[in-house]
Amino acid sequence: MIKGIIFDFDGLILDTETHHYRVLQEIFAAYGSELPIERWQQEIGTQTGFSPFHYLEELIEQEIEHKHLQQQLEEKFHVKLAEEKARDGVEDYLKAAKELGLKVALASSSDYAWVSKHLKNLGLFDYFDCIRTSDDVEIVKPDPALYVKAAECLGLEPEECVAFEDSANGSLAAKRAGMGCVIVPNEVTHTMDFCEVEHRLESMADMPLGELIERLNELKVSK
């Protein structure tokens, strides 16, 4: 039976990914180019060292000023995030988890400073019993370490947890850790090729958490 839920952060709780991609597209467009969504999707939910500005240089076959563009990216990105709220249904799920007696953790490929700052700004930080980030592992998603450590922190076995993810890299990490996974894609991840998961929601507002957990528990029993 499911005793804990583990949330991803970027793209699932706060849709940083769509804003990041849109700002990059604005920068690429200024050079008469574009960043293919399929290329950007490879970077979502993980850390590969990919540099969009080096990639832009390859596309336009000329050197560009990275420092200036990075500053431009960060300024525009943070302006957009300052106006952004948590995705629909997120806080309802967190409240419902507490009411249902479920333990709640977060597993993110981003660092703790980034995650905690935004959770506090959204008023969601105190819902989490445990937070595990890139600071806690040597390899981030799709490696399972983040989810394994989050489950351990909750005092649960992976099979007693269900992960909520928006990306292919994240869902693969959860499944590799041995736990069920529900995907809730966003604007830039909905066309991704996901591994086999237990359920897909377009929004957490589409189904109450209690009903979803009941379905997932029934699925576990039937296997």
- Residues designated as active site: 8, 10
CB 6 within 8 A of CB 141: no
**Residues whose CB falls within 8 Å of the CB of residue 29, separated by 6 or more in sequence, listed in order:** none
Closest CA to 15 of 193, 188, 206: 188
Contact of 204 with 93, CB cutoff 8 Å: yes
Query: Measuring CA to CA, how many Å separate 22 from each of 77, 167, 187?
Result: 9, 17, 11
**159: which 2 tokens?**
């099979």
What are residue 131's DSSP bridge partners? 106
Parallel, antiparallel, or unpaired: how do β-strands 4-7 and 103-107 relate?
parallel
